[in-house]
Amino acid sequence: MKLAAYCCWIVVLGVALLLSHVPVVQGGIFDADYDTPTSVELLAAYPALNTTEREGNPAILCPFLRMLERSGRLDEFKDDTGAPVIPTGDLKQAADDFGCDTTTACGPVIDAVSAGQWFTEAFSFSKLNPFRPSTVDLERLWDAPPVSHECGFTFENGENGVSTDRLESTLGNLLARADLNDGQLVYQDLLDTKNEICASEGVEISSAGLIETQLIFAFMGGVERGYVEYDDVAGFLAINNQVPATKAGQQISALYLLQVREETN
């Protein structure tokens, strides 16, 4: 099962890589270089972020998705009860607005989460309806194999919400590394921190955990600069997450994420 999950990821990344080399795709809307918002633009569009106007939802484990929810961008798509169960198409569009590409980066991950949650969801007749729109339950991200992963930066293995203890220990670990280097973190610092968390839980880092680490580094401008600011990472991981001072200057795509490895390993 685990092996199958890894192969699945390799296929997704492979297809993404191929797509990004097709000239038609490169020149069109799928171009990874197309406009992406700057931090200032993002904050101007979603002023609730960086204020205490609205609390982050600690049941949303992924910091990027927690930020989307906290910004108010997803409110109109919540279900009748107000629960953050969002149609995949709307979630992809929102992720794209925040700088993560729908075709090759966040899109396939959102589809994989939705499929994983369908698999683990309790049986109901509506589940069998082929016309039911696919959704992601943001409060059930831990229940989406193979994308769910252990050794979280902000949650403990098997927990369903952000753990303030884990968050504090992660930030302490990162701060100690940043202090050696003017408040800056290179990719290896994030990866080493992640691997230490995995080791403490007695598990290996999964491909989803690795991609998460790359996404965090890339989102805060790590590919362009070779480092990110500790303050940006800490603000991003917080329950009330903040828009980082420096954000990626390109839309995050699978190809862009591959550059994280090349430049820093």
Ligand X SMILES: *[C@@H]1O[C@H](CO)[C@@H](O)[C@H](O)[C@H]1NC(C)=O
Task: Give the residues lining the site for ligand X (CB under 6 A).
Answer: 39-40, 43, 50, 231, 235, 242-243, 245
Least distance in Å: CB of 244 to ligand X? 6
The residue number whose beta carbon is nearest to ligand X equals 245
Torsion of CA 245, 96, 2, 154, to 10 degrees: 30
Tokens 């953050």: give the residue: 84
Residue of 120, 128, 112 whose CA lies nearest to 8: 112
Here the tokens at position 68 are 């989307």
Least distance in Å: CB of 247 to ligand X? 8
Do residues 248 and 224 lie in contact, with contact meaning Cβ atoms separated by under 8 Å?
yes
Residue placing its CB nearer to ligand X in the complex, 50 or 173: 50
Least distance in Å: CB of 234 to ligand X? 9
Residue placing its CB nearer to ligand X in the complex, 192 or 231: 231
Residue placing its CB nearer to ligand X in the complex, 168 or 204: 168
Least distance in Å: CB of 69 to ligand X? 17
Residue placing its CB nearer to ligand X in the complex, 13 or 234: 234
Pairing relationship of beta strands 184-185 and 135-137 according to DSSP bridges: unpaired
Residue placing its CB nearer to ligand X in the complex, 43 or 248: 43
Least distance in Å: CB of 221 to ligand X? 12
